[in-house]
Copies of this chain bind each other. A is one copy, B any other.
Amino acid sequence: MDKARIDAFLPLAPAKLHILLALTGGKLHGYGIMQKVLRQSEARYKLGPGTLYDNLQRLMKQSLVEEGGSLQDRDSRRRYYRLSSLGQGVLSPEIARLEGVVREARLRRVPQQPRRA
């Protein structure tokens, strides 16, 4: 339970959050992450290639993400990434933090927006 180590990463920059979240479903390659973030956020958060690959490098260096063997892939260009256990450990309190923000906003009666289809 290395709380101090984890706390040093918080709060997560938005791009990092979305990348880690996309990877909770299993390993993905960069381009796949880009698409998944778009779908998961219902197109409300767009991740361009610059932000994506910059962040992947940093996330690797910080050991929040690991390279996941490509494993006989039909497309030789792809590089796969997966969430490390440290990444999991960081994502979790960050989500809790955001829940706090949302809860606070609701307490403050910030007008509800209808959910989109």
Using a CB–CB distance below 8 Å, which chain A residues touch chain B? 10-11, 14, 17-18, 21, 24-25, 40-42, 44-45, 88, 91-93, 95-102, 104-106, 108-113, 115
Contact = CB atoms under 8 A, between A and B. Distances in A.
As for how many copies of this chain the complex holds, the number is 2
Contact of A98 (B42, B96, B98, B115): B98
A21 B91 contact: no
Given A11-B45, A45-B97, A88-B111, 9 more contacts: A10-B44, A24-B110, A42-B100, A88-B110, A95-B106, A95-B110, A95-B113, A98-B98, A102-B102
A106 B98 CA distance: 12
Nearest to A42: B100
Contact of A93 (B21, B91, B101, B113): B113
Nearest to A97: B44
